[in-house]
């Protein structure tokens, strides 16, 4: 628990200067991105990165994403091949994380990579995140700002509720517009989809002109978000449910009678943006058993279903 009171910082020059100073001093700062709120620490500082793991209760073998202000800085830390440069050119800044070989001379805490020889990097497309990264002028390790395995935060209030007594500050930049974590692609000999997310895999494949390899072992994650049980609300989750049983609360999709609805119109973009907020609301409601309507498994629907399958997985 942080002995100092949590600071809520405005997303203005003074607030961002304070946030940068906290990061430089080895503190933990939550900040908004277009996907979800991240929990940031100096990626070069072992103690600061350890603070992320401690605050989140995060498994030590699950790597962290490093956020950077631009591709030029990312190339100081990682080896980019042609595919990586093509994807960065098309989708950065944006909701795409690239897993790339770590340069031999890169100064990054090994806690960030969880002992691997690769680094997950992203340039976010959010004016507050970009301004903070530019002010800090260095690599910021930033997983989602929630207790490990719990629902990711899309509002500053979610961060306060989940981690408020364990971190130093939150830059309150309002709601996250995408509301779903970044897509993760490893750029090796053949680009590999490691996690579905805010950019549909189809768009990435169109950019590459080739299909992504789709395989991953959740027992041996090489990127964030690959643990089998993740993004879980308090209640037990049942998927592809056309209706709720007597003891269940229905999380709907499309024109169904539900306690909460991801998108009454069946809009996958709206559903993605609302997913984590709805899961938080189910926790607030005290839902013990949750039924989830069927959701199409294409485009952003694939990422939504990925999150929901992890939410429904057996708890460790």
What CATH number is associated with residue 74? 3.90.870.10
- Render pLDDT for 92-108 as a digit per residue (tens, 0 to 9): 999 999 999 999 999 99
Separation CA 235–CA 113 (nearest Å): 32
pLDDT averaged over every residue in the chain? 92
C-alpha dist (Å) from residue 162 to 55, 149, 156, 181, 257: 10, 11, 10, 17, 30
Nearest alpha carbon to residue 273 among 139, 211, 180: 180
**Are both 189 and 286 inside the same structural domain?**
no
Considering only residues 270 and 293, tell me which one the structure prediction assigns the higher pLDDT: 293
**Are both 240 and 302 inside the same structural domain?**
yes
DSSP lists the bridge partners of residue 292 as: 251
pLDDT grade, residue 114 (50/70/90)?
confident
Asked if the structure places residue 166 within a domain, the reply is: yes
**Are both 158 and 302 inside the same structural domain?**
no
Among 47-51, 238-242, 288-292, the least confident range? 47-51
Task: Phi first, then psi: give them for residue 37, nearest 5 degrees.
Answer: -70, 135
pTM for this prediction: 0.84
pLDDT number for residue 63: 87
Nearest alpha carbon to residue 29 among 4, 52, 60: 52
**Are both 113 and 144 inside the same structural domain?**
yes
- Render pLDDT for 131-148 as a digit per residue (tens, 0 to 9): 999 999 999 999 999 998
- pLDDT more than 70, % of the chain: 93
Statement: residue 1 has pLDDT above 60 = no
Residue 290, domain CATH = 3.40.50.11030
**Are both 242 and 304 inside the same structural domain?**
yes
Asked if the structure places residue 229 within a domain, the reply is: no
**Are both 65 and 182 inside the same structural domain?**
yes
Nearest alpha carbon to residue 139 among 42, 33, 29, 45: 42
Strand order in the sheet with 37-42: 7-9, 169-171, 29-32, 37-42, 140-141, 65-67, 118-122, 96-101, 183-186, 192-195, 213-214
**Are both 154 and 244 inside the same structural domain?**
no
**Are both 194 and 48 inside the same structural domain?**
yes
**Are both 286 and 202 inside the same structural domain?**
no
pLDDT number for residue 19: 98
Contact 232, 310 (CB under 8 A): yes
**Are both 164 and 305 inside the same structural domain?**
no
Asked if the structure places residue 276 within a domain, the reply is: yes
Asked if the structure places residue 30 within a domain, the reply is: yes
**Are both 183 and 240 inside the same structural domain?**
no
Asked if the structure places residue 225 within a domain, the reply is: no
**Are both 113 and 210 inside the same structural domain?**
yes
Pair type for strands 140-141 and 37-42? antiparallel
Considering only residues 43 and 313, tell me which one the structure prediction assigns the higher pLDDT: 43
pLDDT number for residue 156: 97
pLDDT grade, residue 4 (50/70/90)?
confident
Task: Phi first, then psi: give them for residue 24, nearest 5 degrees.
Answer: -65, -30
Asked if the structure places residue 271 within a domain, the reply is: yes
pLDDT number for residue 61: 65
Asked if the structure places residue 35 within a domain, the reply is: yes
pLDDT number for residue 22: 98
pLDDT number for residue 57: 84
pLDDT number for residue 179: 86
- pLDDT more than 90, % of the chain: 73
Statement: residue 220 has pLDDT above 60 = no
Residue 126 domain boundaries: 7-214
Which region, left, alpha or beta, applies to residue 35 given φ > 0 means left and ψ of -120 to 50 means alpha? Answer: alpha
Statement: residue 250 has pLDDT above 80 = yes
pLDDT number for residue 235: 93
Statement: residue 218 has pLDDT above 60 = no
**Which long-range CB contacts under 8 A does 116-120 form with residues at least 24 apart?**
116/63, 116/222, 118/63, 118/186, 118/222, 119/66, 119/77, 119/78, 120/63, 120/64, 120/65, 120/66, 120/184, 120/223, 120/224
Statement: residue 16 has pLDDT above 90 = yes
Show which of 164, 180, 214 is a domain's final residue.
Answer: 214
Asked if the structure places residue 113 within a domain, the reply is: yes
Nearest alpha carbon to residue 35 among 167, 146, 149: 146
pLDDT number for residue 148: 85
Separation CA 6–CA 169 (nearest Å): 5
pLDDT number for residue 115: 79
Count of domains forming the chain: 2
Statement: residue 44 has pLDDT above 80 = yes
Contact 248, 290 (CB under 8 A): yes
Contact 100, 189 (CB under 8 A): no
């Amino acid at each position: 628990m942080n002995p100092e009171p949590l600071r809520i910082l405005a997303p203005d020059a003074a607030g961002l200067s304070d946030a940068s100073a906290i990061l430089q001093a080895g503190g933990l700062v939550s900040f908004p991105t277009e996907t979800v709120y991240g929990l940031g620490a100096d990626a070069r500082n072992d103690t600061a990165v350890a603070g992320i793991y401690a605050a989140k209760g995060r498994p030590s073998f699950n790597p962290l994403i490093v956020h950077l202000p631009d591709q030029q800085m990312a190339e100081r830390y990682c080896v980019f091949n042609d595919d990586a440069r093509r994807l960065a050119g098309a989708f950065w800044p944006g909701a795409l994380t690239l897993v790339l070989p770590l340069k031999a001379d890169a100064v990054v805490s090994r806690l960030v990579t969880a002992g691997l020889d690769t680094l997950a990097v992203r340039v976010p497309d959010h004016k507050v995140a970009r301004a903070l990264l530019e002010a800090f002028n260095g690599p910021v390790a930033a997983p989602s700002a929630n207790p490990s395995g719990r629902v990711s935060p899309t509002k500053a209030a979610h961060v306060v509720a989940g981690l408020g007594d364990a971190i130093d500050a939150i830059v309150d930049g309002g709601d996250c517009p995408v509301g779903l974590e970044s897509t993760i692609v490893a750029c090796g000999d053949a680009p590999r989809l490691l996690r579905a997310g805010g950019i549909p895999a189809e768009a990435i494949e169109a950019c590459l002109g080739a299909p992504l390899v789709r395989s991953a072992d959740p027992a041996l994650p090489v990127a964030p978000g690959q643990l089998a049980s993740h993004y879980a609300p308090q209640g037990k989750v049942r998927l592809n449910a056309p209706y709720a049983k007597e003891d269940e609360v229905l999380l709907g999709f499309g024109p169904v009678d539900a306690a909460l609805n991801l998108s009454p119109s069946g809009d996958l973009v709206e559903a993605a943006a609302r997913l984590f907020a709805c899961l938080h609301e189910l926790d607030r409601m005290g839902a013990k058993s949750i039924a989830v309507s069927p959701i199409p498994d294409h485009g952003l629907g694939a990422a939504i279903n990925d999150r929901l399958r992890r939410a429904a997985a057996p708890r460790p």
